[in-house]
Amino acid sequence: MTISSISTNQQSLSMRIIIARQNEELSKLTKETASGIKQDVFAENAGAATKSLQMRSFMASTSSYKASNELLEGKLDTTYEALSTLASEAQSFQNLSLAGGITSMNREEYRQEAEDTLARMVTALNTTYSGEFLFSGLSTDQKAVELDASGTSITYLGDTTGTPSARIDDDVTLNYGIRADDPAFTAIFGALTTVLTTNLDALSDTDFEVLRENVTTAMNDGITGLTSQAAGLGNNQAILESKINDQNSRLNIYNNAIAGIETANPEETALRLNQLLNQLEVSYQVTSRLNGMSLLNYL
């Protein structure tokens, strides 16, 4: 008669395999509980891991567009400030030109005001952001304007081929630059240069009135031009801000989707860990009891 028996070696081998498996699973769950991230995303769900990898790539590029856009936002803010300064300087000279008592005022004072305005505007036009000149067109390493030695006229030193642009998202470009050779500035500088190069004291009241008329007309054109430039810039700022908001929302979406794939569910992991610890305890007890069960103990 054949008696089928369990090999003593196989019995202990089976228990060893069971305990080794449980320990391996325990190590994985411990890691997942501690890090909160699945140990091998590709093994758990290869398709989702591929998705997660693609989304990480989108997230990284969106996040860097956002960072770059925030930098650009700073640049536009600085340009806007400079443009406001320029407009307010021009407006304040225009106010002086339009004042009722101008004909009888000290003409030297008027000339001096023109000179100061010109100097302040040159400073504002040479504003830099992170080492780049803002009003020089594409030649951002070049000063935009320079006052000549006599202090009466200015020369545009920047580039005349285009304005800077930036990539604010995949396939979306924003042209944002304002050049100091824009007709608005040319009109204002022309008016100020006229005041500075004319011998005002030699003018009769009538001639002075004609000059004043010409200056205010030119200044008016310039100020209108600056206002329209400021509106364009404000529009760009709004586009950029909405792009940044949009990118923020996209980052949240990507982040949640990635977390959904890569994160180990803490409750589930904890529950599995607990179950496994109980199983392991039982396995140890059974192994110990089995080892104690031998005919040898009764002989």
Partner 1 sequence: MSLSSALNIARSGLSVAALQTDLVSRNMANSETEGVTRKWASLSTNSTGGVTVSAVERSVDTLLQRLDRDNTSKLAQQSTVSDGLKAYTDFLGQPNDETSPAAKLSNLQNAFVLLSTLPSEESTQIQVVTSAKEMASQLNELSGTLSDINREVERNIRYDVSSANETLEGIAILNQKILRSTDGSIAQAEYKDKMDQMIDEVSGFMDVQTVTSQDGTVNLYTGAGTELVIGNQAKTISYDPVQGKLTAGSVDITPGPTGRGISQGSLSGLFELRDQHLPQMSAQLDAVAAGLISTMESANPFGTGGTGLFTDAGNTYDALSVKGLAARITVNAEVDNTIGGNPSLLQNGGNAATPSGDSSFITAMLDQFSQTVTVDTAGLGDVLTLSEMAPALVSLHQTTRASAESATQSTQTAGETIAASRNNFEGVSIDDELQKLLVVEQSYAANARVMTSINEMLDTLIQSF
Kindly report each contact of residues 22-26 with a partner whose C-beta sits within 8 Å and lies 24 or more positions away, as own/partner.
22/276, 22/279, 22/280, 22/283, 23/280, 25/276, 26/273, 26/276, 26/277, 26/280
DSSP state letters, the chain: -------HHHHHHHHHHHHHHHHHHHHHHHHHHHHSB-S-HHHH-HHHHHHHHHHHHHHHHHHHHHHHHHHHHHHHHHHHHHHHHHHHHHHHHHHHHH-GGGGGS-HHHHHHHHHHHHHHHHHHHT-EETTEESSSTT-TTS-SEEE-TTSS-EEE-S-SS---EEEEETTEEEE----TTSHHHHHHHHHHHHHHHS-GGGS-HHHHHHHHHHHHHHHHHHHHHHHHHHHHHHHHHHHHHHHHHHHHHHHHHHHHHHHHHHBPPHHHHHHHHHHHHHHHHHHHHHHHHHHH--GGGG-
Q: Which of 260, 272, 222, 270 is nearest to 48 (CA)?
A: 260
> Taking CB under 8 A as the criterion, which residues in 91-120 touch partner 1?
none
Distance in Å, CB of 61 to partner 1, minimum: 5
Q: Which is nearer to partner 1, 96 or 257 (CB)?
A: 257
Among 23, 61, 155, 197, binds partner 1 (CB under 8 A): 61
According to CB under 8 A, which residues from 223 to 262 bind partner 1? 258, 261-262
CB of 100 to partner 1, least distance (A): 45
Q: Is 41 in the site for partner 1 (CB under 8 A)?
A: yes
Residue with smaller CB distance to partner 1, 58 or 198: 58
- Closest to partner 1 by CB, 155 or 173: 173
Of 15, 19, 26, 49, which lies in the binding site for partner 1, with binding defined by CB under 8 A? 49
Stretch touching partner 1 by CB under 8 A, among 90-98, 100-108, 133-141, 284-292: 133-141
Residue 7 is a binding residue for partner 1 (CB under 8 A) = yes
Interface pick for partner 1 out of 139, 193, 198, 283 (rule CB under 8 A): 139
Instruction: Please tell me whether residue 127 binds partner 1 under the rule CB under 8 A.
Output: no
CB 262 to partner 1: min, Å:
6
> Contact 143/129 with Cβ under 8 angstroms?
no
Options 72, 118, 226, 233; binder of partner 1; rule CB under 8 A: 72
- Selected from 161, 199, 204, 206, the binder of partner 1 by CB under 8 A is 161
List 20, 60, 231, 282, residue binding partner 1 (CB under 8 A): 60
The nearest distance, CB 88 to partner 1, in angstroms, is 26
Kindly state whether residue 5 participates in binding partner 1, applying the rule CB under 8 A.
yes
- Which residues in this chain contact partner 1 in the complex, by CB under 8 A? 3-10, 13-14, 17, 37, 40-43, 46, 49-50, 52-54, 56-57, 60-61, 63-65, 67-69, 71-72, 75, 130-132, 136-142, 159, 161-162, 164-167, 170-171, 173, 177, 258, 261-262, 294-296, 299
